[in-house]
């Protein structure tokens, strides 16, 4: 098979046998690799460093240099980790000298910045916390410290309460009122971590606990288990030998920065990363009940408790009780069964209809990672990826994938060395050559085509028609009005070469809001035209999010769960996309890339 044109899709070829045998293997759980450091994280470190140095009264020029660097890096369209991997010289960036370039390289290489850690080590942790209040810059923190000895949010709260700030220079009634609100908000909303980040922090802690002698079960419950896109803290449930003094071992973990509470059956710590971890030690007979209780969500638990009450039962973290007698608690399915419910997957436990669906035997059969048969959005050296086509193909083949779509950027994305028609044609020829060598996986020809502001696509149709599919994305003009942005996408979808809408809302978690968009209108248009929406699995995108996935499913639009991988390791991000789809009630049938290659090709055909 030489070329595979959308216009004339080939009949099943001889090679379809191979594809069938290349069904996704049950790969062992991926090694938790430290994901490449994002620009946002680097900017965050520089801003924190600037704040701390400022409090110390460091040279203002030095402080400003770090702030400027943070701004430069946060605003870059390409990840500096990628730039370094490609041998780029960071000191060519505005405001980044040799010294700063070295520090960025250090962060990318090690995930940390020595100078920041030294500076933090000599700054009380509570001062860092004070600086996190929006109205408190370094100057004001210094003033509070010098004149009133305040060095923590708790002390500030007490001082505000006692009126000790009244009359303090620079702290007028308006600011005091703002601070009161910020202190109150601070209590309720500790920092949230992206799921992938929390996982990087939690995985070594979990394996430490599992390796302890006397531990039987150790599992993370909470929003982490429900796979929410961000988590505030982690709740760990442990069972095993009471004599093993698990909470002592937990608080002695090397990643612990601060012990918040410590008893024989429960303990809370703050890890060096700032993430809080709470551990509960439960008797084996309560394992299921504890897991259910601490997995939540609260709303789901309340609904379960109501059903239990109707049956004269009481349910808590130790079990299900009739009077004083425990009648269940060892496992979650056992407890659900007592409430006449089938087992409900953690991702669904939000009281968004799962209980009613359970009673009606209508729960979705959620898509699983092992049902994914290929990745439809990856980059290579041709644009801003780090590996050649052949290397990406080999990495995908090793995962047991049947197909991989090479989706490099198109030319208007100059920062990512986007491909023009000539380079894309050359890439298609290369893909043909690789496919002819029968590499054990089928490469599909694709491109991440820029949707221009007028809704046209970045390459002429005669070029796009030669591709097997397209991932069409917005990379500029984020600030158009809702009407204009929606029309722009609808117009792009009118092009029969349009297949998948890439990272449909453009949001970056904690960094950039989704652009204004009438998503429902886009979904309905996609359904009409046979277009597909992407669930981009990059940890800071997760776009579509869970709610939008559910809307897409209800409307009947197919989804493509893709990693947007820029190297081999990022192919592992697939599970984060699958997690969000599962939270959106998505089943294998709703997902394009659970199909084998012939069915996929049939679905890609729009006309
Ligand atoms: Zn993109
Ligand atoms: Zn991409």
Of the listed ligands, the closest to the CA of 570 is: 2
Q: Is the pLDDT of residue 13 over 70?
A: no
Per-residue pLDDT, 189: 52
Question: Hunting for tokens 């696509």 — which residue is that?
Answer: 457
Q: What is the CATH number of domain 287-359?
A: 3.30.210.10
Q: How far is the CA of 381 from the centre of ligand 2 (A)?
A: 13
CA–CA separation, 246 vs 340, rounded Å? 35
Contact (CB, 8 A) for 367 and 586: yes
Per-residue pLDDT, 407: 97
Per-residue pLDDT, 138: 84
- The CATH superfamily holding the domain 369-604 is Metal-dependent hydrolases (3.20.20.140)
Contact (CB, 8 A) for 114 and 120: no
Q: How far is the CA of 580 from the centre of ligand 2 (A)?
A: 18
Q: How far is the CA of 69 from the centre of ligand 2 (A)?
A: 25
Q: Which tens digits make up the pLDDT trace of 331-361?
A: 999 999 999 999 999 999 999 999 999 999 9
Per-residue pLDDT, 28: 38
Question: Going along 397-441, which residue ranges are E strands?
Answer: 403-409
Q: Which tens digits make up the pLDDT trace of 573-596?
A: 999 999 999 999 999 999 999 999
Contact (CB, 8 A) for 320 and 335: yes
Q: How far is the CA of 132 from the centre of ligand 1 (A)?
A: 32
Residues with CB under 5 A from ligand 2 (ion): 448, 564
Which candidate, 153, 156, 175, 174, places its Cα nearest to that of 164? 156
Looking at per-residue pLDDT, the higher value among 447 and 77 belongs to 447
Q: How far is the CA of 460 from the centre of ligand 1 (A)?
A: 19
Per-residue pLDDT, 128: 75
Looking at per-residue pLDDT, the higher value among 149 and 391 belongs to 391
Per-residue pLDDT, 429: 97
Per-residue pLDDT, 513: 79
Q: How far is the CA of 245 from the centre of ligand 2 (A)?
A: 48
* H/E stretch holding 121: helix 114-121
Q: Which tens digits make up the pLDDT trace of 396-416?
A: 999 999 999 999 999 988 877
Q: How far is the CA of 386 from the centre of ligand 2 (A)?
A: 13
Q: Give every CB contact of residue 579 below 8 A, 6+ residues apart in sequence.
A: 195, 227, 347
Q: Is the pLDDT of residue 482 over 90?
A: yes
Q: Which tens digits make up the pLDDT trace of 166-188?
A: 989 899 999 999 999 888 877 65
Q: How far is the CA of 574 from the centre of ligand 1 (A)?
A: 16
Of the listed ligands, the closest to the CA of 503 is: 1
Nearest 5 degrees, angle CA 605-CA 606-CA 607? 100
Q: Give every CB contact of residue 406 below 8 A, 6+ residues apart in sequence.
A: 378, 380, 389, 392, 427, 431, 443, 444, 445, 446
> What is residue 501's three-state secondary structure?
strand
Of the listed ligands, the closest to the CA of 413 is: 1
Q: How far is the CA of 294 from the centre of ligand 1 (A)?
A: 37
Q: How far is the CA of 338 from the centre of ligand 1 (A)?
A: 47
Q: Is the pLDDT of residue 252 over 80?
A: yes
Our measurement of the distance from residue 244's CA atom to the centroid of its chain's CA atoms, rounded to an integer in Å, reads 35
Pair type for strands 276-281 and 233-240? parallel
Per-residue pLDDT, 484: 97
CA–CA separation, 583 vs 297, rounded Å? 13
Q: Which residues are 317's β-sheet partners? A: none
Of the listed ligands, the closest to the CA of 77 is: 1
CA–CA separation, 202 vs 206, rounded Å? 6
Q: How far is the CA of 339 from the centre of ligand 1 (A)?
A: 46
Q: How far is the CA of 448 from the centre of ligand 1 (A)?
A: 7
Q: How far is the CA of 7 from the centre of ligand 1 (A)?
A: 25
**Domain spans in the chain, listed from the N-terminal domain onward:** 4-123, 127-187, 193-281, 287-359, 369-604
Contact (CB, 8 A) for 490 and 525: yes
- State the pLDDT confidence band at 27, using cuts at 50, 70 and 90: very low
Of the listed ligands, the closest to the CA of 447 is: 2
Q: What is the pTM of this model?
A: 0.72
CA–CA separation, 412 vs 54, rounded Å? 41
- State the pLDDT confidence band at 43, using cuts at 50, 70 and 90: confident
Q: How far is the CA of 502 from the centre of ligand 1 (A)?
A: 6
Distance between start and end Cα atoms, the chain:
22
Of the listed ligands, the closest to the CA of 446 is: 2
Q: How far is the CA of 475 from the centre of ligand 1 (A)?
A: 6
Per-residue pLDDT, 125: 65
Q: How far is the CA of 521 from the centre of ligand 1 (A)?
A: 22
Question: Hunting for tokens 């929003």 — which residue is that?
Answer: 223
- Choice among 284-288, 443-447, 459-463, 601-605 with the minimum mean pLDDT: 601-605
Per-residue pLDDT, 103: 92
Segment 151-163 mean pLDDT:
88
Pair type for strands 314-316 and 276-281? unpaired
- The CATH superfamily holding the domain 4-123 is DNA polymerase beta, N-terminal domain-like (1.10.150.110)
Looking at per-residue pLDDT, the higher value among 506 and 414 belongs to 506
Q: Is 51 left (phi over 0), alpha (psi -120 to 50) or beta?
A: alpha
- State the pLDDT confidence band at 190, using cuts at 50, 70 and 90: low
Q: How far is the CA of 566 from the centre of ligand 1 (A)?
A: 11
Q: How far is the CA of 537 from the centre of ligand 2 (A)?
A: 11
Of the listed ligands, the closest to the CA of 474 is: 1
Q: Which tens digits make up the pLDDT trace of 105-136?
A: 988 888 789 899 888 877 766 777 788 787 88
Per-residue pLDDT, 77: 77
Residue 21 CB burial class (10 angstroms; 0-12, 13-18, ≥19)? exposed
The C-alpha torsion from 594 through 598 and 602 to 604, rounded to 10°, is 60
- State the pLDDT confidence band at 36, using cuts at 50, 70 and 90: low
Q: How far is the CA of 472 from the centre of ligand 2 (A)?
A: 9
Of the listed ligands, the closest to the CA of 473 is: 1
Q: Give every CB contact of residue 31 below 8 A, 6+ residues apart in sequence.
A: none
Of the listed ligands, the closest to the CA of 385 is: 2
Q: What are the tokens at 296? A: 């939540």
Q: What are the tokens at 359? A: 């009673």
CA–CA separation, 99 vs 70, rounded Å? 14
Of the listed ligands, the closest to the CA of 375 is: 2
Nearest 5 degrees, angle CA 324-CA 328-CA 334? 160
Q: How far is the CA of 437 from the centre of ligand 1 (A)?
A: 30
Of the listed ligands, the closest to the CA of 377 is: 2
Question: Hunting for tokens 């439809």 — which residue is that?
Answer: 376
Q: How far is the CA of 564 from the centre of ligand 1 (A)?
A: 7
Of the listed ligands, the closest to the CA of 565 is: 2
> What is residue 440's three-state secondary structure?
coil
Q: How far is the CA of 277 from the centre of ligand 2 (A)?
A: 34
CA–CA separation, 79 vs 50, rounded Å? 22
DSSP H helix total and E strand total for the chain: 25, 17
* CATH fold of 127-187: DNA polymerase; domain 1 (1.10.150)
What average pLDDT is seen over the chain? 89
Q: How far is the CA of 506 from the centre of ligand 1 (A)?
A: 9
Is it true that 287-359 and 369-604 share their CATH fold?
no
Which candidate, 78, 51, 75, places its Cα nearest to that of 63? 51
Q: How far is the CA of 200 from the centre of ligand 2 (A)?
A: 23
Cis peptide before 450 (omega within 30 of 0): no
Our measurement of the distance from residue 209's CA atom to the centroid of its chain's CA atoms, rounded to an integer in Å, reads 25
Q: How far is the CA of 413 from the centre of ligand 1 (A)?
A: 10
Q: How far is the CA of 591 from the centre of ligand 1 (A)?
A: 20
Looking at per-residue pLDDT, the higher value among 432 and 154 belongs to 432
- The CATH superfamily holding the domain 193-281 is Beta Polymerase, domain 2 (3.30.460.10)
Q: How far is the CA of 508 from the centre of ligand 2 (A)?
A: 14
Of the listed ligands, the closest to the CA of 408 is: 2
Which candidate, 230, 233, 257, 336, places its Cα nearest to that of 291? 336
């Amino acid at each position: 098979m030489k070329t595979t044109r959308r216009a004339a899709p080939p009949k099943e070829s001889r090679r379809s046998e191979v594809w069938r045998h290349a069904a996704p293997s049950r790969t062992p759980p991926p090694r938790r690799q430290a994901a490449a450091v994002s620009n946002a994280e680097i900017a965050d470190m520089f801003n924190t460093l600037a704040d701390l140095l400022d409090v110390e009264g460091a040279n203002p020029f030095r402080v400003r240099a770090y702030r400027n660097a943070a701004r430069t890096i946060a605003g870059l369209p390409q990840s500096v980790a990628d730039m370094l991997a490609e041998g780029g010289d960071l000191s060519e960036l505005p405001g980044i000298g040799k010294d700063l370039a070295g520090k960025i390289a250090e962060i990318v290489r090690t995930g940390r910045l020595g100078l920041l850690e030294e500076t933090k080590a000599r700054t009380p942790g509570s001062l860092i916390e004070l600086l996190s209040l929006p109205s408190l810059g370094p100057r004001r923190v210094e003033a509070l410290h010098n004149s009133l000895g305040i060095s923590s949010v708790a002390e500030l709260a007490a001082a505000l309460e006692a009126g000790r700030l009244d009359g303090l220079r620079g702290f007028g009634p308006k600011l005091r009122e703002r601070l009161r609100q910020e202190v109150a908000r601070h209590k309720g909303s500790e920092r949230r971590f992206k799921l992938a980040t929390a996982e990087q922090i939690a995985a070594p802690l979990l394996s430490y606990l599992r390796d302890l002698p006397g531990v039987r079960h150790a599992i993370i419950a909470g929003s982490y288990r429900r796979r929410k896109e961000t988590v505030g803290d982690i709740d760990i449930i442990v069972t095993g030998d009471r004599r093993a003094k698990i909470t002592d071992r937990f608080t002695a973990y090397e990643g612990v920065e601060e012990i918040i509470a410590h008893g024989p059956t429960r303990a809370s710590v703050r890890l060096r990363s700032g993430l809080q971890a709470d551990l509960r030690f439960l008797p084996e007979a309560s394992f299921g009940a504890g897991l259910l209780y601490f997995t939540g969500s609260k709303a789901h638990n309340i609904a379960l408790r109501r059903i239990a009450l109707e049956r004269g039962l009481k349910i808590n973290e130790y079990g299900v009780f009739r009077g004083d007698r425990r009648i269940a608690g060892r496992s979650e399915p056992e407890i659900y069964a007592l409430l006449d419910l089938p087992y409900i997957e953690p991702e669904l436990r939000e009281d968004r209809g799962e209980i009613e669906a359970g009673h009606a035997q209508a729960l979705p059969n959620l898509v699983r990672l092992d049902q994914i048969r290929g990745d439809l959005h990856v980059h290579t050296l041709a644009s801003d990826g780090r590996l050649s086509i052949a290397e990406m193909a080999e990495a995908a083949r090793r995962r047991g994938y049947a197909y991989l779509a090479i989706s490099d950027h198109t030319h208007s994305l100059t920062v990512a060395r986007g491909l023009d028609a000539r380079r894309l044609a050359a890439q298609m020829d290369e893909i043909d050559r690789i496919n002819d060598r029968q590499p054990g996986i089928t490469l599909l020809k694709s491109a991440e085509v820029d949707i221009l502001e007028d809704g046209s696509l970045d390459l002429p149709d005669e070029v796009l028609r030669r591709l097997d599919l397209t991932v069409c994305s917005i990379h500029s003009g984020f600030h158009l009005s809702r009407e204009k942005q929606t029309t722009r996408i609808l117009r792009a979808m009118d092009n029969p070469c349009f297949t998948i809408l890439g990272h449909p809302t453009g949001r970056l978690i904690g960094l950039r809001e989704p652009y204004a968009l009438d998503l429902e209108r886009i979904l309905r248009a996609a359904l009409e035209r046979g277009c597909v929406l992407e669930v981009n699995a990059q940890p800071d995108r997760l776009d579509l999010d869970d709610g939008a996935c559910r809307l897409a499913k209800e409307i009947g639009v197919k989804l493509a769960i893709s990693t947007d991988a820029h190297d081999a390791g990022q192919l592992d991000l697939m599970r984060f996309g699958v997690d969000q789809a599962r939270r959106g009630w998505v089943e294998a049938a709703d997902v394009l890339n659970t199909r084998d290659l012939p069915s996929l090709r049939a679905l890609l055909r729009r006309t």
